[in-house]
Amino acid sequence: MIKNLVIVESPAKARTIEKFLGKDYTVMSSMGHVVDLSKKDLSVDIENGFEPKYEISPDKKKVVTNLKKSARDAEWIWLATDEDREGEAISWHLVNALKIKEDKTKRIVFHEITKTAIDEAIKNPRQIDKNLVNAQQARRVLDRLVGYELSPLLWRKVKPGLSAGRVQSVAVRLIVEREEEIRNFKKTSSYRITAQLILKEGKGQKIVNAELPKRFKTKEEALEFLKSCQGAKFKVDKVEKKPAQKSPAPPFTTSTLQQEASRKLGFSVANTMRIAQNLYESGKITYMRTDSVNISKMAMAQASQEIKSLYGDEYVRTRQFRTRSKGAQEAHEAIRPTFMNKRQVEGNVQEKRLYELIWKRTLASQMAEAKIEKTNVDISISTSKEKLVAKGEIIKFDGFLKVYLEGRDDDEQEEKAGVLPPLKKGDELDLKEMLATERFTKHPPRYSEASLVKKMEELGIGRPSTYAPTISTIQKREYVVKEDRNGEFREYDYISLQGDKISEQKKKEMSGVEKGKLFPTDLGTLVNKFLMQFFNNIMKYNFTAKVEKEFDEIAAGDKKWNKMIGEFYSPFHDKIQETAEKTKKFSGERLLGKDPESGKNVFAKIGRYGPMVQIGDTESEEKPKFAGMRKGQSIETITLEEALKLFDFPRSIGEYEGKELTVNIGRFGPYVRHDNQFFSLKKEDDPAGIGQERAIELIEEKRKKASENTIREFDKDKKVKVLKGRYGPYIKIGRKNFKIPKDQDPEKLSLEDCYKIAEDPKNTPRKRYRKKK
DNA sequence: CAGTGAGCGAGCTTCCGCTTGACTT
């Protein structure tokens, strides 16, 4: 017999709370939502006030059965789900799914898992807030309507299996538009003047680095300036000292954890969440899906204690941070170590590193500001009215910097102001070298997974529990790809003035290197174009913020949820119908020009198998010619010349062993074909230039490898082979592979042995899990 | 694993937010 049944959302939370509550309380978890709209169909009754048709989620049947059993004979049921819209709905769903009377339930909430917070919560039960539940219904129904009406439209107009939604489509838009900005970006260059000056100090000398605040637009101007400095005298004109302060960053939320783990540890967003989940489940950190920067009084006291014992009293400065992110619901604490005095944890390397990051961030957040002294020194030039400026920075008191400094996104690290030698007005300086270096403006940066999350949070789009899944969805749909791109060398001018001598050089630097950045695909660009054209309001960056405001009104009881949905739905649905009827297939066709040979139009567009180019109109009598695009080419950027080149294949390049050699470009890239066999070209091979000699090389190379990997062959049955593979030896019969049992020696297998092994179903490969798109 | 770009048309695909395992390769 259970006296009190407490239901929370997470099992790890249940374990902790049970310890605080004593033996009169049994704590169980719902594992999140237990009730939802059916996945199979719309499950919203449009005619009847958008009444949702709920069902117990298939994967929660067991959970519900167990909860029901315990709830039946419990005296009181305490609904302790999170204090936000979704949590309130979960409580309401539980009441219905467990078929319990509402007067047997008490709704309680807490934002932190500490004994005091829980005791306090138990003392202040309330009833379920139906308005808040309705706000959640509105959110759920809106997302369903948008997702389940837009996606099928895309299947018809663009390609089957695609998807669209309030969150994912805007995420794709951000990436597509950033790429457009980058494409339209015109880089310009300017000339930056820097100088190394020498301060004589008794016997020794000190270097002072200075820079001209202004830049020159042209090389001529820069050169002119350097010339004007030939033989000039340099003198300290003004020394200005200013104190400054630096404050620590707030404790981690999901989004900031993802960003820092990406910047400092190179973790992907999904990886960070997986590791954090492990740390949470083993009780090392607090909950990892949160938008709150608050930490409990207890944690604050522990942090303060820890700082004191490690660094001393003057390093302690506890503070509570205020959230600045849009739509934060703050049902949890910030992400912090459960025990601040635990500086390291057991676990694998990644867990250790992530924990250390969380520990440092939390500790630093309760430490004193760093005190800095900034120095600006103006240096006059006897031959010019321009002045050089030297900047210095001294840390007077390191404070939180002793432990942790937040990383930055911009890859060009700001030139760090170092320590300046002591300078005073009137000091004379000798010029060691003055440089004019050509610098280029940079296009806005492409998004990484983590910086996309940051942007989404700023816009109030998505929630801590969905950032990682959304990013994987838009990649799974092939709207965007995460890629590295090689940079290119570019030349820049480097002009030096040393003594009285001016010398000019061209130097080379790498530019445009991208690592782990998100690029839109042609499909993503196309879907975005479609949605922007016909469903502009949903694609607006403030659409979510706008509906959130209405959800708040519903939660406050000022608006009926189905009225709000009705106002949205009717124009939306009209547009869906209109688009379905009036538009043709959306292929993103772009006219590149005319084919000089035939005079026909050349297009780039998306076909059934991806981006392609086409010579001739689709409507014309004569069938157009088609060719697939190469990797790295895109509808938006391909030129007429590049497109025409794609029609030069297949190309005959001679023969070998009496059989013809041809080069072609297939689904998996360029290849050489010989005697009905395929040989992929290497990265460095150019399909347009490759000749017979190189083709033979490729063939021989592949043959050699194959023979090295062959353990046994049989003259009687050429289809049967024993081969060495990535996972060890295996048998190949025709196109099928078979495992070799551990007790058999692959070197000694006879043909009969092979047949026997192949017959045993134990050795047949498992049905390959087909990649879902 | 490799050429296609549409034509028959069954049956399938899809949203966001809350939460964990149970599973391969």
Which nucleotide is closest, CA of A611 to its C1'? Answer: B5
Of all residues in chain A, what percent are helix, strand and coil, respectively (each to 5)?
35, 25, 35
**A718 beta carbon < 7 A from strand B?**
no
β-pairing, A736-739 with A76-79? unpaired
Residue A365's DSSP bridge partners are: none
Please report which confidence band the pLDDT of residue A730 belongs to, taking 50, 70 and 90 as the band edges.
Answer: confident
Q: Which residue is nearest to nucleotide B16 (CA to C1')?
A: A143
Select the highest-mean-pLDDT range: A108-117, A238-247, A713-722, A729-738. A238-247
Alpha carbon A615 to chain centroid, angstroms: 38
Question: Which pLDDT score, from 0 to 100, does residue A597 have?
Answer: 86
Q: How far apart are CA A284 and CA A292, in angstroms?
A: 18
- Is pLDDT larger for residue A721 or for residue A386? A386
**A56 beta carbon < 7 A from strand B?**
no
Question: Which pLDDT score, from 0 to 100, does residue A743 have?
Answer: 78
Q: Which residue is nearest to nucleotide B13 (CA to C1')?
A: A161
Q: How far apart are CA A25 and CA A12, in angstroms?
A: 16
A41 by DSSP, 3-state: which?
coil
User: Which chain A residues 571-610 have CB under 7 A to strand B?
Assistant: 607-610
Q: Which residue is nearest to nucleotide B12 (CA to C1')?
A: A161
Nearest-5° Cα angle at A47, A45 to A53: 10
**A166 beta carbon < 7 A from strand B?**
yes
Which nucleotide is closest, CA of A81 to its C1'? Answer: B18
C-alpha dist (Å) from residue A364 to A67, A316, A357, A727: 42, 9, 11, 47
Q: Residue A339: is it exposed, middle or buried by C-beta count within 10 angstroms (0-12/13-18/19+)?
A: middle
Q: How far apart are CA A636 and CA A647, in angstroms?
A: 19
pLDDT mean across residues, chain A:
92
User: Which chain A residues 285-324 have CB under 7 A to strand B?
Assistant: 287, 289
- Can you list the alpha helix ranges (DSSP code H) found in A2-129? 11-21, 61-72, 85-97, 115-123
Which segment of A154-163, A371-380, A491-500, A754-763 scores lowest on mean pLDDT?
A754-763
Decide: A567 and A573 in contact? Cβ < 8 Å: no
Rounded, the Å distance between the CA of A334 and C1' of B19 is: 18
Q: How far apart are CA A124 and CA A116, in angstroms?
A: 13
Q: Which residue is nearest to nucleotide B24 (CA to C1')?
A: A769
Q: Which residue is nearest to nucleotide B4 (CA to C1')?
A: A609
Question: Which pLDDT score, from 0 to 100, does residue A676 have?
Answer: 81
Rounded, the Å distance between the CA of A737 and C1' of B22 is: 26
Assess whether pLDDT exceeds 70 at residue A316.
yes
The pLDDT of A17-39, averaged and rounded, is 95
Q: Residue A393: is it exposed, middle or buried by C-beta count within 10 angstroms (0-12/13-18/19+)?
A: middle
Q: Which residue is nearest to nucleotide B20 (CA to C1')?
A: A31
Question: Which pLDDT score, from 0 to 100, does residue A761 have?
Answer: 67
Which nucleotide is closest, CA of A140 to its C1'? Answer: B16
Which nucleotide is closest, CA of A287 to its C1'? Answer: B19
Question: Which pLDDT score, from 0 to 100, does residue A78 have?
Answer: 97
To the nearest 10°, the Cα dihedral for A259, A264, A266, A271? -60
Assess whether pLDDT exceeds 90 at residue A648.
no
Strand order in the sheet with A651-656: A651-656, A659-666, A669-674, A677-680
Assess whether pLDDT exceeds 50 at residue A377.
yes
Which segment of A156-165, A366-375, A688-697 scores lowest on mean pLDDT?
A688-697
**A664 beta carbon < 7 A from strand B?**
yes
Q: Which of A388, A420, A414 is nearest to A208 (CA)?
A: A420
Rounded, the Å distance between the CA of A739 and C1' of B25 is: 14
Which segment of A215-229, A317-331, A710-724, A753-767 scores lowest on mean pLDDT?
A753-767
Residue A373's DSSP bridge partners are: A243, A394
**Residue A252: CA count within 13 A, CB half-sphere:** 34
**A161 beta carbon < 7 A from strand B?**
yes
**A169 beta carbon < 7 A from strand B?**
yes
Q: How far apart are CA A288 and CA A311, in angstroms?
A: 28
User: Which chain A residues 439-498 have CB under 7 A to strand B?
Assistant: 462-466, 469-470, 473, 477
Question: Which pLDDT score, from 0 to 100, does residue A608 have?
Answer: 81
Decide: A311 and A368 in contact? Cβ < 8 Å: no
Q: Which phi and psi (to 5°) does residue A39 adopt?
A: -75, -25
* pTM > 0.85: yes
**A764 token code pair:** 């047949």
Active site residues of A: 287
Q: What is the DSSP letter of A292?
A: -
Question: Which pLDDT score, from 0 to 100, does residue A86 have?
Answer: 97
Strand B nucleotides where any atom sits below 7 Å of a protein CB = 1-6, 12-21, 24-25
Residue A518's DSSP bridge partners are: A482
Q: Residue A67: is it exposed, middle or buried by C-beta count within 10 angstroms (0-12/13-18/19+)?
A: buried
N- to C-terminal Cα separation, chain A: 49
Q: Is the dihedral of CA A112, A118, A120, A121 positive or negative?
A: positive
A473 by DSSP, 3-state: which?
helix
Q: Is the dihedral of CA A113, A115, A118, A120 positive or negative?
A: negative
Q: How far apart are CA A106 and CA A79, in angstroms?
A: 6
Assess whether pLDDT exceeds 80 at residue A478.
yes
**A652 beta carbon < 7 A from strand B?**
no
Q: How far apart are CA A119 and CA A21, in angstroms?
A: 8
Rounded, the Å distance between the CA of A666 and C1' of B2 is: 5
Question: Which pLDDT score, from 0 to 100, does residue A414 have?
Answer: 57
C-alpha dist (Å) from residue A606 to A523, A578, A749: 7, 23, 50
Q: How far apart are CA A178 and CA A172, in angstroms?
A: 10
- Can you list the alpha helix ranges (DSSP code H) found in A424-542? 449-459, 467-476, 522-534, 536-539
**A9 beta carbon < 7 A from strand B?**
yes
Question: Which pLDDT score, from 0 to 100, does residue A768 have?
Answer: 42
Q: Give residue A349's region: left, alpha or beta (phi > 0; psi -120 to 50).
A: alpha
**A761 token code pair:** 């179903």
**A763 beta carbon < 7 A from strand B?**
no
Rounded, the Å distance between the CA of A757 and C1' of B2 is: 31
* pLDDT tens column, A217-260: 999 999 999 999 999 999 999 999 999 999 999 999 999 999 99
> Hunting for tokens 């347009």 — which residue is that?
A688
* pLDDT tens column, A522-555: 999 999 999 999 999 999 999 999 999 999 999 9
Q: How far apart are CA A38 and CA A45, in angstroms?
A: 12
Q: How far apart are CA A391 and CA A210, in angstroms?
A: 7
C-alpha dist (Å) from residue A597 to A262, A605, A616, A624, A664: 52, 21, 12, 14, 21
Assess whether pLDDT exceeds 70 at residue A765.
no
C-alpha dist (Å) from residue A214 to A161, A198, A211, A231, A377: 54, 22, 9, 21, 15
**A373 token code pair:** 């002294």
Q: What is the DSSP letter of A24?
A: T
Question: Which pLDDT score, from 0 to 100, does residue A729 have?
Answer: 79
Which nucleotide is closest, CA of A772 to its C1'? Answer: B13
Question: Which pLDDT score, from 0 to 100, does residue A739 have?
Answer: 77
Containing H/E element for A549?
helix A543-555
Q: In percent, how much of chain A has pLDDT > 90?
A: 73
User: Which chain A residues 22-51 have CB under 7 A to strand B?
Assistant: 29, 31-33, 36-37, 39-41
